[in-house]
Structure 1
Amino acid sequence: MTAAAPRRLFGITAAAEMVTWALLILAMALKYTGVTEALMPVGGGVHGFVFLCYVVVVVAVWIDSRWSAGRGLVALGSAVIPFMTVPFERAMGRRGEPADRWRVLDEPGRDSAADRLLRAVLARPVVSVLIALVVVAVVFVALLMAGPPTEWGN
């Protein structure tokens, strides 16, 4: 099995992040209009999990595309603003970024420690995805146990 192309993977996670924003906003609208709170755990949970997956993909694409710190931070920040991940992904697509192939697989030898780590991850995509999902799940559960962000530190 080969790793998904960076452009495709980035596009899928950007779209998923946008869709889960819609689900979360719908759940919030239903909660705060007094209709029902039933969708909040689902909307919040799904959105939180997809957000963490998007962060993992952005970091991989950031390394591979050799984005500047500013561009990488904007990519991460686009997930905080509702529905911004897809416009950001499309803007990058117009610039030809991310590439259709993983650069780190095509340019061995000219790399940093982050490139070598990403190359190792891409060399074993099934194992790497499983490990990433476990890490995301652990972070997700820790955040669930911490409660809503508005209650952190109280």
Structure 2
Amino acid sequence: MSPTRLYRTVATAEAITWAVLLIGMFLKYVTDTTELGVRVGGMVHGAVFIAYCLTTVLVAIDQRWSAGKVVAGLASAVPPFVTIPFERYAERRGMLGSSWRLAQAAPAGVLEKLAAWLIRKPAQGVATGVAAVAVLFAVALVAGPPVG
């Protein structure tokens, strides 16, 4: 799977889970019918949000994004539905390649070496990504909601 296709897929999934969460919030807070949409939608959105952030970092390392573009990509996951316009922006600006640079190029530095390993060994890369999402999700569950 190319960086463009992976990023588009995860950005779209993040926007869809935002919609599910917002529908759940409407049902809970406006119609007062159920909170199931917030419980389930919130958990699914949380996991996909983490996956989007990890994907953004992986693609950014491989495609050599500037720090500002990485921050913009990560920040696009905070407001609802902004990951899709950011993905389109990134594609128009040539930030998403049709192939993985580190699949062939020699990695420079620790982050590129890790990214190269994930890219060159796709099965282990996917397993590592799923494990990373699970660990970060568990940490978020233990930390609990923000206190305001």
CA apart distance, 1:19: 0.3
1:56 paired residue number:
54
SS at match of 1:149: coil
CA apart distance, 1:86: 0.3
Greater relative contact order (Cα < 8 A, sep 6+) = 1
- Residues 15 and 82 of structure 2 are in contact (CA less than 8 Å); yes or no, is this contact kept in structure 1? yes
- Residues 8 and 84 of structure 2 are in contact (CA less than 8 Å); yes or no, is this contact kept in structure 1? yes
CA apart distance, 1:136: 1.1
CA apart distance, 1:146: 2.3
CA apart distance, 1:142: 2.1
Q: Does 1:132 align with 2:129?
A: yes
1:93-124 Cα deviation digits (max 9, x unpaired): 11222101011123226x33322221111121
- Residues 27 and 33 of structure 2 are in contact (CA less than 8 Å); yes or no, is this contact kept in structure 1? yes
Tell me how far apart the structure 2 counterparts of residues 125 and 115 of structure 1 sit (CA, whole Å).
Answer: 15
1:104 paired residue number:
102
| TM-score, length-scaled by structure 2 | 0.93
CA apart distance, 1:14: 0.3
Tell me how far apart the structure 2 counterparts of residues 67 and 60 of structure 1 sit (CA, whole Å).
Answer: 10
Q: Does 1:30 align with 2:52?
A: no
SS at match of 2:38: helix
Residues 18-97 of structure 1 aligned to structure 2 (within 5 Å) = 18-33=15-30, 34-97=32-95
2:120 paired residue number:
123
In structure 2, list runs of 5 or more residues that go unmatched.
none
CA RMSD across the alignment: 1.4
Task: Summarize the Cα distance change of 1:115–1:16 in structure 2 as closer, same or farther, 3 Å threshold.
Answer: same
Q: Which runs of 4+ in 1 moved over 6 A?
A: none
State the percentage of identical aligned residues: 42
Tell me how far apart the structure 1 counterparts of residues 122 and 104 of structure 2 sit (CA, whole Å).
Answer: 16
1:58-85 Cα deviation digits (max 9, x unpaired): 0011101111111100000000011000
